[in-house]
Structure 1
Amino acid sequence: MDQQAHPSSWLEVDVDLGFALFFLLLLCLFLFVTIVRCAQTVIDPYGAISTSTYQEEQINN
């Protein structure tokens, strides 16, 4: 059997795998933030709208 010259630790990752893991982590973070934002919108749909974007109707009797 071929043995490696030095024992590799689990922290040693080649460059391609490092980039792949970084972008996977970034994608998971983006997905988590999107899920949280969507859940907040579903729970309180009018909370995200500022009151300056719409005017209250004036009721004249």
Structure 2
Amino acid sequence: MEESSLSRNIDVDKGFAIAFVILLFVLLIVMIFRCAKLVKNPYEASSTATEPSLS
């Protein structure tokens, strides 16, 4: 009897939804920092990502 009442209190769909929202927030924060870095110094950020150095 106690196991069935315990399983009713745990909602798997709600847990997946919360984990998904947290993952989206983490990705949003990472993208904000990447965009801020690009705005701060666009030449350094673009040169290392697209072109190899010729030296």
Q: TM-score, normalised by structure 2?
A: 0.66
CA separation in 2, counterparts of 1:29 and 1:19? 15
Superposed CA deviations along residues 2-61 of structure 1, whole A, max 9, x for unmatched, are xxx7xx8xxx641011000000000000000000000000001011113xx288xxxxxx
Residue 58 (structure 1) aligns with: none
Structure 1, unmatched stretches of 5+, are: 56-61
Q: TM-score, normalised by structure 1?
A: 0.60
Query: Match for 2:37 among 14, 18, 40?
Result: 40
Pick the structure with greater CA Rg: 1
Residue 21 (structure 1) aligns with: 18
Structure 2, unmatched stretches of 5+, are: none
Identity of aligned residues (%): 43
Structure with more relative contact order (C-alpha pairs < 8 Å, separation 6 or more) = 2
